[in-house]
């Protein structure tokens, strides 16, 4: 008997076979490594259809990022900026709330409005708050782990705060600490990615609990570890390009990834399981 296909994209030859086990009841589609590029294509199409709203959303992200950085630099806390950038990666799924809602409206042929982020938040604010709090806790744990590792592995005199990052991470004299810090960061980033890859757009789209959304996201990532690993790499690179352009590139990068994430969720979670 042939495996059923669900919501198969006409321009991509992919396997979209529901994967489920009796013990959890969670069903996700299997996809190929070509699919993340299709998500980017669809994300770009959404930007073109909702240019006014998507680019305004991206511009607001740029403005807030620039103001936060300016405030830190002006107060002499330059060393916090790299950690802030790392935190942006962890919280990006929540930052994209309004973009998921825009894509949902486009999908249904509904009119758009500038308060899409607030609309998305109100749809399931209690469960979205849980996801947001969890990501913030992971970010705080990562920062705390760095302080502990620094105390354990850094053997030189403590550098001034204004040159902390360059002296500790870029001098080449503290390789043990740098390696441990990167390793811990990689593990925590992987955890954050697994629980938030599609859980946030899923909570925007459906009235479900946060635990179910997280379990579905984790299963989608582990079932499709190769394409989802590629998607994580693409996210890191695209947001990184936004950073190296002094945030200006985020005006395009954030809407592109936000819309694409919506399409990732739609491809990974079977439509037939939508609540009636």
Q: State how far the Cα of 255 lies from the Cα of 141, in Å rounded to an integer.
A: 28
**Range from 42-51, 87-96, 140-149 carrying the lowest mean pLDDT:** 140-149
Q: State how far the Cα of 106 lies from the Cα of 246, in Å rounded to an integer.
A: 30
CA proximity to 186, closest of 89, 65, 74, 44: 89
Q: How much is the pLDDT for 143?
A: 82
Q: How much is the pLDDT for 153?
A: 59
102 neighbors 120 (Cβ within 8 angstroms) = no
Token couple for 215: 């379990």
Tell me: the pLDDT tens digits for 123-139?
Answer: 899 999 999 999 999 98
| 244-266: average pLDDT | 97
- Helix/strand/coil for 219: helix
Question: How would residue 16 be classed by pLDDT, with cut points 50, 70 and 90?
Answer: very low
Tell me: the pLDDT tens digits for 173-185?
Answer: 667 777 887 888 8
Instruction: Choose from 2-6, 13-17, 153-157, 167-171 the range with maximum mean pLDDT.
Output: 167-171
Q: Tell me which residue has tokens 């590792």.
A: 149
Q: Is the pTM of this model over 0.75?
A: yes
| 48-53: average pLDDT | 96
131 neighbors 203 (Cβ within 8 angstroms) = yes
Instruction: Choose from 69-73, 146-150, 251-255 the range with maximum mean pLDDT.
Output: 251-255
């Amino acid at each position: 008997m042939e495996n059923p296909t669900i919501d198969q994209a006409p321009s991509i030859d992919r396997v979209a076979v529901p994967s489920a086990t009796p013990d959890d009841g969670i069903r996700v589609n299997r996809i190929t490594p070509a699919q993340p590029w299709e998500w980017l294509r669809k994300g770009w199409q959404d930007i073109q259809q909702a240019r006014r709203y998507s680019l305004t959303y991206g511009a607001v992200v740029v403005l807030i990022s620039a103001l936060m950085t300016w405030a830190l630099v002006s107060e002499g806390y330059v060393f916090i900026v790299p950690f802030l950038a790392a935190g942006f990666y962890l919280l990006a799924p929540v930052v994209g709330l309004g973009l998921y809602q825009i894509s949902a409206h486009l999908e249904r042929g509904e009119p758009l409005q500038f308060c899409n982020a607030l609309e998305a938040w109100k749809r399931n604010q209690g469960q979205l708050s849980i996801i947001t709090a969890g990501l913030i806790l992971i970010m705080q744990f990562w920062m705390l782990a760095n302080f502990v590792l620094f105390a354990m592995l850094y053997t030189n005199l403590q550098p001034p705060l204004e040159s902390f990052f360059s002296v500790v991470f870029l001098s080449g004299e503290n390789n043990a600490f740098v390696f441990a810090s990167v390793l811990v960061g990689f593990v925590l980033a992987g955890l954050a990615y697994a629980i938030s890859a599609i859980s946030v757009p899923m909570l925007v789209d459906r009235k479900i609990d946060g635990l179910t959304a997280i379990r579905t996201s984790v299963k989608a990532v582990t079932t499709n570890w190769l394409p989802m690993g590629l998607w994580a790499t693409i996210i890191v690179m695209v947001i990184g390009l936004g950073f190296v352009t002094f945030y200006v590139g985020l005006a395009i990068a954030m809407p592109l990834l936000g819309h694409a994430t919506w399409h990732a969720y739609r491809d990974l979670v079977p439509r037939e399981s939508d609540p009636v």
